[in-house]
Amino acid sequence: MTALLEIDAMSVHFQVGSGMLRRGKTLKAVDNVTLQINENETVALVGESGSGKTTLGRVVAGLGSTTAGSVRFRGAPLEASGKIQMIFQDPFSALDPRMLVGDVVAEPLRLLGRGKARDRRDRAREMLDQVRLPKDAAERFPHEFSGGQRQRIAIARALVADPELIVADEPLSALDVSIQSQVLNLLMDLKESRQLALLFISHDLAVVHHLADRVAVLYLGRIVEVASRDGLFKNPSHPYTQALLQAAPKIGMRRSSQTTMLRGEIPSPLNPPPGCSFHPRCPKARDICRQVAPALESAPGRTGQLAACHFKD
Amino acid sequence: MTEQIELTQPNSSTAKALEVTGLTVIARRDGTTTEIVSDISYAIDRGRTLGVVGESGCGKTVTSLSVMGLLPANLSSAGSIKIAGHEMAGASERTWENTRGNQVAMVFQEPMSALNPVMKIGTQVAEVIVRHRGTSPRIAHKEAIELLAAVGIPSPEVRANDYPHQLSGGMRQRAMIAIALACQPVLLVADEPTTALDVTIQAQILDLMVELQDRTGTAIQFISHNLAVVSQIAHDIMVMYAGRVVEKATAQEMFSAPLHPYTRGLIETLPDPDRPVKRLPVIPGAVQSMAAGAAGCRFAKRCSLADGHCAQVTPALELHGSDHWVACHKVPA
Amino acid sequence: MGRYSLRRIAEAALVALIMSFLLYNLISLLPGDPVDLMLEGNPSVTPELVAQMRALYGDNQPLVQRYWHWLGNLASGDLGYSSSQFKPVMEVLGPALLQTSKLMIWTFVISILTSIVLGSLAAFKPGGWIDNVISFFAFACVSSPAYWVALLFLIVFSVKLQWFPATATAIDPDMGLLKQMSYFVLPILTLTLFSVGQYVRYVRASMIETLASDYIRTARAKGLSRITIVRRHALRNALVPVVTLMALSFGSLMSGALVVETMFGVQGMGKAIYDAVMMKDFNVAMIGMLFATLVTLFASLVADLAYGWLDPRISLK
């Protein structure tokens, strides 16, 4: 498997609350993340608020800069080549309401300076067809379409420049349930037919299970576990992963009042707990967890599965 | 107050917590009328949770607002709404004001905006107690702290003096639950209460609601678009589509033997790690709004089983088995 | 709360200093010898004093030095003498300040209370008839120039109906309090009308937005009555942006007061400053304008601090 995208010890820190007289605090949105995405592969980034998954996705898509570490695409630093495109969560704000849909879809080509206006228009129409929207969609405005249809327009826009990697940040969350599967199927078909790699950011484990090859779990900016899809779901190694899987709602199972194994709130990324940032909520926490941040290492007896825990399974 | 309904007697009436019959809600705008909710009927027994499931446009939020008497001015409703046996349809605003927060209470989706940002948490909880039980603010404040403890907020006496923005999303939602349950209502209406929360926090809140229901015997109307979340907490489930009830059954029945094509579609369309599929089955099309009085099954256009009859005649809710209701022509009796 | 307030107060003091310097510059542009201007009217002028002053304030001194000495004088309480009235500046401005204050403070209080009530009433049902009446009224108030309204009142209430006296110059300190107050009714009413016109629109807009908030819906879900909701939940939130606007406009009340003072013959600050400039009364003009500046600055400082106090999200930053 050739590595398409290599993220190496990347950190993204923000200075928050600094003014004329104050220095402000450091928000470590992403902290020392190393991850690789191979050709044709779907890697899912899973996490809750403050996990840094959105920041990570944006940096990969070229929408933010790193504070430390590097991101390389086919060995070279990131540049605006159209090879990496992004799909966002909210289909209602992702499309410029004053542009015709055809122009919206053709815009990446225009920005990259590819082809003449007529060619771009034709290509846009072709893409709209591929996402199963009516031919006349190009002459209409985004507000004339439903949420699901707008997300398809966003997908068409992301694919028009022939990218090799798509970063999708919660693309289904704002859609109705019965529409989600339509868009999900479309995404998978297109990925397959165009041999795309996909960085899929989501908090929905069921969807992740459906389409990911590998899964990386993030907590407060750090990777706590990376594994193959089956490895993660069948044999989670990190206590946070286990808690996530247990908390994920499944059909047909009524909770008793003692089901949750995870206490406490998600800490603010401005004040991450020392040592292992998960220790205040972890059922396995011991003294060492408060002092030493665990490194991401292979889980015992499991190939290709990494977890950052002193007491991983 | 003479209109106050006394509730807390041990042998109180056997009336159900909520009984809705023939509820219809109409929106009038620029001369056109749209039926948002059409002739729905359901009931919730005391101490039970009814999950109301549906997508956008199904009318679940409007139904909840009707049960609270909080419909916006441009909507009008007809039909019977009985809370603990008392008919509330057509009740005066005064009667509703005495009932809200008292016999029926509501928890909303966005805990950040649902709490007054310039008022302390403790005061917002105590306010309900003072309003309906007439206790002094000092005693109410003490009770508020106990309530905050009961919903699992640590250091409640300190937190009571905090403002909403100082609490996390999960904490705020717990505070909202404390406000809702302060006067021990017969019915709690929860409209997407966990949708805006992280998964692990959602699990905590759902557990809390189950625990509180066991303790206080409050009935819960739990609205959500997420079938999986609803299944975690509901005893009974009601599926709504385009303003109508299409299926009603116990949760167990609903998931082991769903009958309505929409319900089955909903269940099958959700990815499930325990039932992996290559391609997810899809419900084609999208929800459309309905003009008032239009007949025919509203799901017909998206249904693989539909025929001409379905498009013309509105299916009625019929009983299948002991307690399983379905509105579909195509389900064998 | 502490850090935010201290910073704001320090900033306000700095601005006051800068403003006083700019003002000093401005007045120095007046034709005439500044020393002469400053010493005219001083009954105890001596050649030594003149020489002393010339050393401190003479034209040959750099501007900054002159300004610095003048500031020093101010700080020790010496405000100088009025060259046009041959009295200490305080004796000229003091009574004027009293008159203007009466006007401004009454206007401010009445217009705030009135606009809160009217604005809230209008916000209850936007587009309803109450709203239409109140909004039209506000629009009319804002659109009518102060001097025109003043004239109207004078004609109707003073001349035709003879309810209120016309010119406040006729006030005699020996008159009863009520009679004295009656001279102020029309000027206050004139100023109030304009302020109310402005404020009602702010209050209405803010209240409409607040009433649409989620927490108001929660308050309704608690079973609180509409009045309680407005009083305890909506008002404070709605007033937060409005209070700052009101405090800021307090400063401009002073200039509005000038017109009204002139129309009704009130011997206030506006008139005093105007006369001083016309008569090249350097000291009075300076002190008067400085005072007006400080009032505006103070009002804006209060606005900022009030905002921080009313909204706990700000002060606990």
Q: What is the residue-wise DSSP string for C36-76?
A: HHHHTT-TT--HHHHHHHHHHHSTTS-HHHHHHHHHHHHHT
When pLDDT is averaged across residues C36-48 and rounded to a whole number, the result is: 69
User: Which pLDDT belongs to residue B215?
Assistant: 92
**Residue B189, φ and ψ in degrees, nearest 5:** -100, 120
Give the pLDDT of residue B10.
36
Domain that holds residue A53: 3-83+163-235
Residue labelled with tokens 């006083």: C20
Contact A177 B226 (CB under 8 A): yes
- The answer to whether residues C57 and C66 touch, using CB atoms and an 8 Å cutoff, is yes
d(CA A128, CA A150): 11
pLDDT at B11: 36
Instruction: Give SS3 for A78.
Output: coil
Mean pLDDT of C141-149: 86
Residue of B199, B227, B255 lying closest to A48 (CB–CB): B199
- Residues 191-220 on A with a CB inside 8 Å of B are 203, 205-207, 209-210
A247 at interface of B, judged by CB pairs closer than 8 A = yes
Please tell me the distance from the alpha carbon of residue A57 to that of residue A29, in angstroms, as a whole number: 12
Question: Among C214, C224, C232, whose Cβ lies nearest the Cβ of B113?
Answer: C214
With contacts defined as CB-CB under 8 Å, which chain B residues touch C214? 108, 110, 113-114
Q: How many domains does chain A have?
A: 1
What interhelical angle do B169-181 and B199-216 show, nearest 10?
20
B215 touches chain C (CB under 8 A): no
Average pLDDT value for chain C:
81
- The answer to whether the beta carbons of residues B244 and B255 sit under 8 Å apart is no
**Residue A184 sits at the chain B interface (C-beta within 8 Å):** yes
pLDDT surpassing 90 at residue B143: yes
**B51 has pLDDT over 70:** yes
Cβ proximity of B188 and B219 under 8 Å? yes
Res B9: pLDDT = 37
Backbone conformation region of residue A74, classed left if phi is above 0, alpha if psi is from -120 to 50, else beta: left
The DSSP result for C87-106, as a single string, is SBHHHHHHHHHHHHHHHHHH
> pLDDT digits over B189-205, tens only?
999 999 888 899 999 99
Q: Is residue A59 in some structural domain?
A: yes
Return the pLDDT at A260.
Answer: 66
Residues of B in contact with C220 (CB under 8 A): 70, 100
Which residues lie across from B106 on neighbouring strands?
B189
- The predicted structure's pLDDT at residue B72: 87
Q: Domain B18-103+187-287: give its CATH architecture.
A: 3-Layer(aba) Sandwich (3.40)
Inside any domain, residue A283? no
Encode burial over B4-18: b for 16+ CB neighbours within 10 A, e otherwise: eeebeeeeeeebbbb
Q: Are C228 and B130 in contact (CB under 8 A)?
A: no
Contacts with C219 from chain B: Cβ below 8 Å? 116
Give the pair of three-digit tokens for residue A123. 């290509």
C262-281 pLDDT, tens per residue? 888 888 887 888 888 788 77
Residues within 8 A of A (CB atoms), B 55-84 only: 55-56
What is the model's pLDDT at position A258?
A: 59
Mean pLDDT, rounded, of chain B: 88
d(CA B207, CA A257): 5
Percent of chain B having pLDDT more than 90? 58
Among A150, A257, A263, A282, pick the best mutation site for testing chain B contact (most B Cβ within 10 A). A257
B4 at interface of C, judged by CB pairs closer than 8 A:
no
Tell me the mean pLDDT in the region B32-41: 88
**Closest of B74, B83, B82, B85 to residue B105, by C-alpha:** B83
pLDDT band for B187, please (50, 70, 90 cuts): very high
Q: Name subunits touching B (3+ CB pairs < 8 A).
A: A, C
Nearest residue of chain A to residue B209 (CA atoms): A257
Residues of chain C contacting residue B106, judged by C-beta atoms under 8 Å apart: 218, 221
**CB of B112 within 8 Å of any CB in chain A?**
no
Range list of H helices, C222-268 = 226-228, 235-264
Contact B200 A260 (CB under 8 A): yes
Dihedral angle sign, alpha carbons of residues B61, B63, B65, B68: negative
* Least confidently predicted of A62-66, A291-295, B96-100, C76-80: C76-80
Domain annotation covers residue A200? yes
3-class DSSP assignment, residue A113: coil
B17 in C contact zone (CB under 8 Å): no
8 Å CB contact between B187 and B221: yes
Indicate if the pLDDT at residue C316 is higher than 60.
no
Structural Rg of chain A based on CA atoms: 21
DSSP letter for B263, please: H
Q: How many beta carbons lie within 10 A of that of residue B41, not counting itself?
A: 15
Q: Does B147 touch chain C (CB under 8 A)?
A: no
Q: For the segment B266-321, what is each residue's pLDDT rounded down to a tens digit?
A: 988 888 888 888 888 888 877 776 665 678 888 888 888 888 888 888 888 899 88
What is residue A107's predicted lDDT score, i.e. its pLDDT? 92
Distance separating alpha carbons of residues B134 and B153, to the nearest angstrom: 25
Chain A: touching chains (3 or more CB pairs < 8 Å): B
- Residue of B116, B130, B166, B191 to mutate for C, most C C-beta atoms under 10 A: B116
According to the model, what pLDDT value does residue B5 have?
A: 36
Residues of A in contact with B169 (CB under 8 A): 49
Distance CA A279, CA A273 (A): 8
Which chain A positions have a beta carbon within 8 Å of B172's beta carbon? none
Q: Mean pLDDT throughout C105-115?
A: 90
3-class SS at C309? helix
Inter-chain touch B270–A250, beta carbons under 8 Å:
no
Mind telling me how many Å the CA of B272 is from chain C's nearest CA?
A: 35
A151 occurs within a structural domain: no
Task: Answer yes or no: is A20 within a domain.
Answer: yes
C-alpha span between C259 and C182 (Å, rounded): 19
Q: Kindly state whether residue A294 falls inside one of the protein's structural domains.
A: no
**Polymer length of chain B:** 333
A22-60 pLDDT per residue, tens = 667 888 899 999 999 999 999 999 999 889 999 999 999
Interface subset of C 183-222, CB within 8 angstroms of B = 213-215, 217-222
Residue A249 is assigned to a structural domain of this protein = no
B72 touches chain C (CB under 8 A): no
Query: Is position A221 within any domain?
Result: yes
In what order do the strands lie in the sheet containing B32-44? B32-44, B18-29, B75-83, B86-87
Q: Residue C317, Cβ neighbours under 10 Å: how many?
A: 11
With a cut of 90, say whether residue B184 has pLDDT above it.
Answer: yes
3-state class (DSSP) for residue C193: helix
User: At A30, is the secondary structure helix, strand, or coil?
Assistant: strand
Instruction: Name the minimum distance, in Å, from the CA of B87 to any CA of chain C.
Output: 17
A253 touches chain B (CB under 8 A): yes
Least confident of A7-21, A283-297, B155-169, C95-109: A7-21
Tell me which DSSP letter residue C281 carries.
Answer: -
Nearest CA in chain B to A252: B231
Whether residue B6 has pLDDT greater than 60: no
Q: Do C215 and B68 touch (CB under 8 A)?
A: no
Q: Which portions of chain A are predicted below pLDDT 50?
A: none
Number of other residues whose CB lies within 10 A of the CB of residue B135:
15
Residue given tokens 């194994």 in the structure block: A261
Which position has the token pair 């904490």?
A: B171
With b meaning 16 or more CB within 10 Å and e meaning fewer, what string describes A277-309?
A: bbbebbeebeeebeeebbebeebeebeebbbbb
- Residue A181 in contact with partner chain B when CB distance is under 8 A: yes
Q: Which domains does chain C have, with CATH numbers?
A: 2-75 (no CATH), 89-278 (1.10.3720.10)
**Beta strand pairing status for A306-307 and B318-320?**
unpaired
In this prediction, residues B82-97 reach a mean pLDDT of 92
Looking up residue A19, the CATH number of its domain turns out to be 3.40.50.300
Check whether B23 has a pLDDT greater than 90: yes
Q: Does the beta carbon of B162 lie under 8 angstroms from any beta carbon of chain C? A: no
